[in-house]
Structure 1
């Protein structure tokens, strides 16, 4: 399977990028092909201007800006998707949200067409402990937003949110555990039980 792995973090020496490296190693060891899209270093502009605003007056797919059309073409070359990002304010970073706003656009991802991808993994890194998320149901909120409000709406019913907690814990055993989990997610990407209701 060809999997597009999109990484959003301002620093390449971050835990987010270490997790992405282990995840993609797992994919490779399982025989998958992957392309890594580093949103920051690619120069992607997350700001949506008029050229990429959805056109609600027509059922035909609008021709978007060259930057967005290039990203749509990139997505079309892959069978599945993975997004790896820090969880900030209990949501996606602005860079990743802007990418989705612009690229998962009307007539391509929803509306007259839907995404063709078989599955999507949302891998978020949270500084807070699991108990903190569960206390106010932030984990369920994220799952509802990403699995139902975004992936399922755009035609991908096979969607899973995975949250790595306590990512500011600098103990080596915690760091190693997170990297092992990331590797396993890549190694078993197409074997995991993934559902939009999870």
Structure 2
């Protein structure tokens, strides 16, 4: 089984990137047949700007650009997708949101044609969300951040495409034992990613 782990943090050596590596370590530790690719959007220079061509793709009046097609091919090779990102203004960074805006196109992630309704096309791709926050858990709870993530990201993006959210995790720097405890949790997320398929490793 193969996982694509997408990271959005411009700072080299960031906790976000360390958590992504721990997810990959856990994945391989659970079965040496599992594989992964870490996609560092900042390091790769992905352009998140939604252009006129992207708008035409939305309307099915143009084909996606080569860089978008390449990202879709990555996901077509994947059995799971993990998004690892710091919380910016109660959501994901603009770079990651722009990646979703451009890559999850009409015709690939879903099919929207007049009079036919929406066809969800990503039921084969379970998603694992790993958000890293700096505020205390009581602050997030008080403001309903878990529900906000569920509405905006889980429902608004992935349910629309049919991609099941297999896990949604909020790792906080204020949690006891952080940051080491967060790295341990990230490894556990990786270990559990393909738990239902561990019989394949027997």
Q: One fold, TM greater than 0.5?
A: yes
**Which SS does the other structure have where 2:43 is aligned?**
coil
Counterpart in the other structure of 2:90: 90
- Give every structure 1 segment of 4 or more consecutive aligned residues whose post-TM-superposition deviation is greater than 6 Å: none
Counterpart in the other structure of 1:151: 158
Q: Which moved more, 1:105-114 or 1:139-148?
A: 105-114
The answer to whether the Cα contact below 8 Å between 2:27 and 2:35 also exists between their aligned partners in 1 is yes
Alpha-carbon separation, structure 1, partners of 2:86 and 2:187: 17
**How big is the shift at 1:116?**
4.6
Alpha-carbon separation, structure 1, partners of 2:76 and 2:47: 20
For structure 1, list consecutive stretches of 5 or more residues without a partner in the other structure: 193-198
Alpha-carbon separation, structure 2, partners of 1:33 and 1:62: 34
Describe the superposition over 1:96-141 as per-residue Cα deviations: whole angstroms up to 9, x where unpaired.
0000000011111112561253310010000001110110101210
Alpha-carbon separation, structure 2, partners of 1:175 and 1:3: 24
Counterpart in the other structure of 1:64: 64
Counterpart in the other structure of 1:196: none
**What count of residue pairs does the alignment treat as equivalent?**
187
Is residue 186 of structure 2 the alignment partner of residue 179 of structure 1?
A: no
The answer to whether the Cα contact below 8 Å between 2:140 and 2:146 also exists between their aligned partners in 1 is yes
Change (3 A) 1:57 1:20: closer
Q: Which has the higher strand share?
A: 2
Q: Which has the higher helix share?
A: 2
**How big is the shift at 1:152?**
1.3
Counterpart in the other structure of 1:35: 37
Is residue 195 of structure 2 the alignment partner of residue 191 of structure 1?
A: yes
Is residue 52 of structure 2 the alignment partner of residue 45 of structure 1?
A: no
For structure 2, list consecutive stretches of 5 or more residues without a partner in the other structure: 113-118, 197-202
Describe the superposition over 1:5-50 as per-residue Cα deviations: whole angstroms up to 9, x where unpaired.
0011001211111111111100111122111100011111000111
Alpha-carbon separation, structure 2, partners of 1:8 and 1:66: 21
Q: TM-score, normalised by structure 2?
A: 0.85
Q: TM-score, normalised by structure 1?
A: 0.87
